[in-house]
Structure formats: C-alpha cells, structure tokens
Amino acid sequence: MADQDPRFRHFFYQTILPLLKQRGKTIIAITHDDRYFNIADRVIKMDNGQLIELDDRELDRAQQIVEQLIN
C-alpha cells in the first residue's frame, strides 16, 4: 500500500482498519504518515536499527506536531 492515493489512504485507516479490528483481526501497518498513529493500539518505531514502542506522551507529542504542521 506504499503508493496509496490520499483518498484511499484515508478510507483504509478510517474505515477498513476499524472494521477489521471489530472482527478481531490483527493488522500490522507500516507507514511514515503519523497523521494515522492515533488509530493504532500500539506504535512501534525503528530508531537506529532498534524497535521502540512509543508511549502515550510521545504519541501525544507527535500528534501535536502534526496538527501544527497541518494548521
């Protein structure tokens, strides 16, 4: 899904993923688009070859940065 157009990307994250979650499915979505991090149950980033789970404080900070960039 690397080359998703913006409309499908929004549909995927806002419609398809919640439906799959309701059905008990596990989805691993890899993205650089942090506008959709808030949808995830867990966010794991790769930093210098290490996998690191972001905590709520880090996720909130990332969301604030995105909102500032958008507005």
Q: Please enumerate in sequence order all residues whose Cβ is within 8 A of that of 38, keeping only pairs 6 or more positions apart, or say none.
A: 59, 63
The predicted-structure confidence for 30-68, as pLDDT tens digits, reads as follows 888 878 888 888 888 888 999 988 888 888 887 787 778
Tokens of 25: 């499915």
Return the domain boundaries, the chain.
Answer: 6-70
Amino acid identity of 15?
Answer: T
Q: Is the pTM of this model over 0.85?
A: no
